[in-house]
Amino acid sequence: MARYEVIGGKPLNGAVTISGAKNAVVAILPAAILVNGVCRIENVPDISDVRILLSILEGIGAKITREDGTVEIDSTDIHSTCPEPELVKKMRASYYLMGALLGRFGKAHVALPGGCNFASRPIDQHIKGFAALGADVEETEEYVALQPGANGLQGNRISLDVVSVGATVNIMIAAVLLPGQTIIENAAKEPHIVDLANFLNTMGAQISGAGTDTVKIRGVEALQGGTYAIIPDQIEAGTYLAAVAAAGGNVLVKNVIPKHMECITSKLAEMGAEIINYDDAIRIRCDGKLHHTTVKTRPYPGFPTDMQAQICVCMTLASGVSRLTESVYETRFFGYCSELESMGADIQINGKTAIVTGADRLYGSTVTAKDLRAGAALIIAGLAAEGTTYVKNIHYVERGYERLIEKFTGLGAQIRRIED
């Protein structure tokens, strides 16, 4: 098992380039199953979730070539609608194979996904969507099996009971090749929903409204190959910004869409960081002196739950008492708060809200990542802390951050990966 060693207390300086968005690419790679021909996808991050997905696609017959950040997928010869369960269970977004296989072949047999278990993560809204599109759904504790119901598969109107990124994506993918129109109401609006729609439209789909709460998909007969570049990762960018806010420094975060970052940068500015927006970059300067604030996580365009842990680290170092309320995944605090407390943080959890009393400093400790973003937060805490921090369970972090050691080292951080 590998771990990270982080020697803290040094400000971060220089420039860092953000990779393609994890949550976009894990939707777009399965969606390539729908395409007759070769999809050339650029700006694909080299993270373990992507490697697993590509293995799954190869296992069902897709031809994959990969060079640097570009992946070519030819789904013409896919011969199976039952992807390898052991691989499917290794990650969360493998549930998009359900929508993709249903859309292309009218059936799918997919194991229930694994990935970060920071909360109970039901998929009832995905299932509701597939059923509304006419699928017969068999759901067991091990897998979901889909096949056409008595009236066949066709577009329909679906109103989600909760705003779900995963359900919005899965229904969009499933509906693209079905006859008729599908309308998703109360849809999620995250940047990666828009990216998926742009990808599918580039390949010939007819999707409108992505990025609003009503997405319309007019079914087309086929999609053809083409080239598409993934958007920059909002959460990776937010993680580097939070690291500079916590550890201090002056960093240009390059290859970002500043509009996607407003929900995060506005809070960091409120806490005392200086933020300068350029067309596709953001400069952050911070002298390490932060003020307390109040944050409530919300679906986009609100403050993302995937930045909850990272902003919490900033709060542990801010003057005064901050309040951090989680409204998407209530149990997410348990993934990292006790680890931060072992570093000297003062956090009281009261239901959905963490009350964070800022301290002058954190101290190095040995801590364990319990999910991807919790792991990122512990690295930030280590960078800001006095002394040496060891972060264990880093396979979570490697699921979603490309070349993390290289990027932080490039900013002057003392961080290395140790193979035990």
- Which string of x and - marks every residue 356-395 that binds ligand UD1 (by CB under 6 A)? ----------------------------------------
Closest among 257, 383, 271 to 324, alpha carbons compared: 271
Q: How far is the CB of 14 from ligand UD1 (least distance, A)?
A: 28
- Contact predicate 290/337, CB 8 Å: no
Amino acid identity of residue 20, one-letter, is G
Phi, then psi, of 196 in degrees rounded to 5? -60, -45
Q: How far is the CB of 137 from ligand UD1 (least distance, A)?
A: 13
Query: Does 187 participate in binding ligand UD1 (rule CB under 6 A)?
Result: no
- Indicate the residue among 23 and 389 with the shorter CB distance to ligand UD1: 23
Q: How far is the CB of 303 from ligand UD1 (least distance, A)?
A: 11
% helix, strand, coil for the chain, step of 5? 35, 30, 35
DSSP conformation letters of 365-409: -EEE--SHHHHHHHHHHHHHSBSEEEEE-THHHHTT-TTHHHHHH
Query: Does 23 participate in binding ligand UD1 (rule CB under 6 A)?
Result: yes
Which run of H or E residues covers position 3? strand 2-7
- Candidates 303, 329, 336, 401; binder of ligand UD1 (CB under 6 A) is 329
* Cis preceding linkage at 122, omega within 30: no
Handedness of CA 347, 350, 354, 356 (dihedral sign): negative
- Indicate the residue among 115 and 382 with the shorter CB distance to ligand UD1: 115
Query: Does 56 participate in binding ligand UD1 (rule CB under 6 A)?
Result: no
Q: 192: which residues sit within 8 A by CB, 6+ positions away? A: 21, 23, 24, 27, 165, 169, 231
Query: Does 210 participate in binding ligand UD1 (rule CB under 6 A)?
Result: no
| Total site size for ligand UD1, rule CB under 6 A | 21
- Indicate the residue among 198 and 365 with the shorter CB distance to ligand UD1: 198
Query: Does 306 participate in binding ligand UD1 (rule CB under 6 A)?
Result: yes
Which of the residues are catalytic?
116
Q: Which stretch binds ligand UD1 (CB under 6 A): 164-172, 174-182, 216-224, 341-349?
A: 164-172
Query: Does 285 participate in binding ligand UD1 (rule CB under 6 A)?
Result: no
Query: Does 164 participate in binding ligand UD1 (rule CB under 6 A)?
Result: yes
- Indicate the residue among 42 and 161 with the shorter CB distance to ligand UD1: 161
Angle between helix 96-105 and 22-31 (nearest 10) = 20
| d(C-alpha 236, C-alpha 90), whole Å | 21
Q: Which stretch binds ligand UD1 (CB under 6 A): 160-168, 172-180, 201-209, 351-359?
A: 160-168
Closest among 294, 306, 314, 311 to 247, alpha carbons compared: 314
- Indicate the residue among 20 and 358 with the shorter CB distance to ligand UD1: 20
Query: Does 166 participate in binding ligand UD1 (rule CB under 6 A)?
Result: yes
Angle between helix 165-175 and 191-202 (nearest 10) = 10
First to last CA, the chain: 6
Residues 81-140, interacting with ligand UD1 (CB under 6 A):
92-93, 121-126
Beta 346-350 vs 321-325: how paired, if at all?
unpaired
- Candidates 50, 100, 108, 165; binder of ligand UD1 (CB under 6 A) is 165
- Indicate the residue among 329 and 336 with the shorter CB distance to ligand UD1: 329
| d(C-alpha 278, C-alpha 326), whole Å | 30
- Candidates 223, 328, 374, 381; binder of ligand UD1 (CB under 6 A) is 328
- Indicate the residue among 167 and 245 with the shorter CB distance to ligand UD1: 167
Applying CB under 6 A, which residues contact ligand UD1?
Answer: 23, 26, 92-93, 121-126, 162, 164-167, 188, 304-306, 328-329
